[in-house]
A = this chain, B = another copy of it.
Amino acid sequence: MSMSEHTNPLGDKPIRVALLGCGVVGSSVARMLVESADDLRARIGAPVELVGIAVRRVGKDRSDVPVDPALFTTDAEDLVTRADIVVEVVGGIDPARGLLLKAMESGASVVTANKALLAEDGPTLYAAADAAGVDLYYEAAVAGAIPILRPMRESLAGDDVTKVLGIVNGTTNFVLDKMDTTGAGFEETVAQAQALGYAEADPTADVEGFDAAAKAALLASLAFHTRVKGADVFREGISDVTAADIAAAKAMDHVVKLLAICERTTGQNGTSGVSVRVHPAMIARTHPLASVRDAYNAVFVEASAAGQLMFYGRGAGGDPTALAVLGDLVAVARHIVAGGRGPGESAYADLPILDVGDSVTRYHISLDVEDRPGVLAQVAQAFADTGVSIETVRQHIRTNSSSGEARANLVIVTHAATEAALAATVDALAASEVVAEVVSVMRVEGA
């Protein structure tokens, strides 16, 4: 390809890129910057020059990263002032926050994969970008290689998004998918995921839904033009999901997924707002999200004009994530070369974030009850009293092994009801003399 085709107002002046972090993602970014130098130059209209890589341990062997070893530095504070674009793949809140603020103050645009920081303090970063007239891009922060933020910020910007349902954490999807295919329990499957490198030694951030909650906050912010922080997200992890829950889902041709749900909805008191939550839920096997296997991610979007959309792909891994970083880098670099800026924060709608009690979904409830006439009527009454209507009931007789007493298992699926109403139902059931045990309650999504 001839370079002369490209107009370049800066002549051959290179775009200076500083890389913060050289771990799983950073080492892929560094390698791609070197290997795709010609391609990047053609797409951007100017060459890219890697001016430094900040790391913690400058003495570590990094011979797999094909760059001049002199580029490695521990002085990130200095490095960010010497760049046109700062790529941050360090992770965590501090020092990443301070470094990015300093970078923008010094006139650099920022590309980051740091969902934790954005979900904690995005508005501060956006404000700094606005003040400096630079770009803040973070495609890699949600669902790795899947281009999802750009369509939300650009293609869907003129539409009204009503709902986002995402499988945004690969570790938990891997665990739930394996539980589904093998019938194994949670602990055992997590151990297997750790052995295969799909779960970290301390899997808490993934398993308890913290990572998914941060991503849900970023998706909700873009979808609803409203500031949503990670801490605003109702969160329930998958550590209480049992093999029995998975089997119960299977029995009604559903699968259990950890879903990030962002919904435009109306609360009980009539307030129009957004509901953002992360929790395990059953979805029908016919739903497009049900076919998301292994550690894959997918984001399902419902919008007024566009209808249903789904984006599917790898949510993590060095190369897929680095590719998303590079896509952002090209967009930002093109702005530097050709002028202009990408979309900034869009928080004009400023909708209230509703309490989880206001969120509406269907429920799958498994109850152990005495096996005698009139029990079903009493159970049904408990639902009626709390205003939750029943869609289906299935009953299985079984003999309780310890006492020899006949017990029945009731599986009830409700119509859509609020979390608050459902909680009242569950309380009433637990207090009922005919109910031996509320075995499990799980939400059913994606109707």
Interface on A for B, CB 8 Å cutoff? 1, 5, 28, 32, 36, 39-40, 43, 130, 139, 145-147, 150-151, 154-159, 286-288, 290-293, 296, 298, 304-314, 317, 319-320, 322-324, 326-327, 330-331, 334-335, 337-341, 343-344, 348
Whether B309 pairs with A312 at a CB distance below 8 angstroms is yes
Label chain A's interface by main secondary structure: mixed
User: A338's closest neighbor in chain B, by CB?
Assistant: B340
User: A40's closest neighbor in chain B, by CB?
Assistant: B158
Report chain B residues within 8 Å CB of A310.
298, 310-313
Can you tell how many copies of this chain the complex includes? 2
Whether A326 pairs with B158 at a CB distance below 8 angstroms is yes
Whether A341 pairs with B340 at a CB distance below 8 angstroms is no
How far is A36 from B319 in the complex, measured between Cα atoms in Å? 38
Whether B312 pairs with A306 at a CB distance below 8 angstroms is no
Whether B307 pairs with A43 at a CB distance below 8 angstroms is no
How far is A298 from B293 in the complex, measured between Cα atoms in Å? 17
Report chain B residues within 8 Å CB of A147.
147, 150-151, 154-156, 309
Q: Which of B298, B327, B340 contacts A158 (CB 8 A)?
A: B327
How far is A305 from B320 in the complex, measured between Cα atoms in Å? 5
* 25 A–B contacts from the bound complex (CB under 8 Å): A32-B158, A139-B155, A145-B305, A145-B306, A147-B151, A147-B154, A147-B155, A147-B309, A150-B151, A154-B331, A155-B327, A157-B330, A286-B291, A288-B292, A291-B291, A296-B308, A305-B319, A305-B320, A305-B323, A307-B313, A307-B319, A308-B314, A309-B311, A309-B314, A310-B311
Whether A309 pairs with B158 at a CB distance below 8 angstroms is no
Given contacts A150-B150, A324-B155, contact A309 B145 (CB under 8 A): yes
> Could you tell me the distance in whole angstroms from the C-beta of A318 to the nearest C-beta in chain B?
9
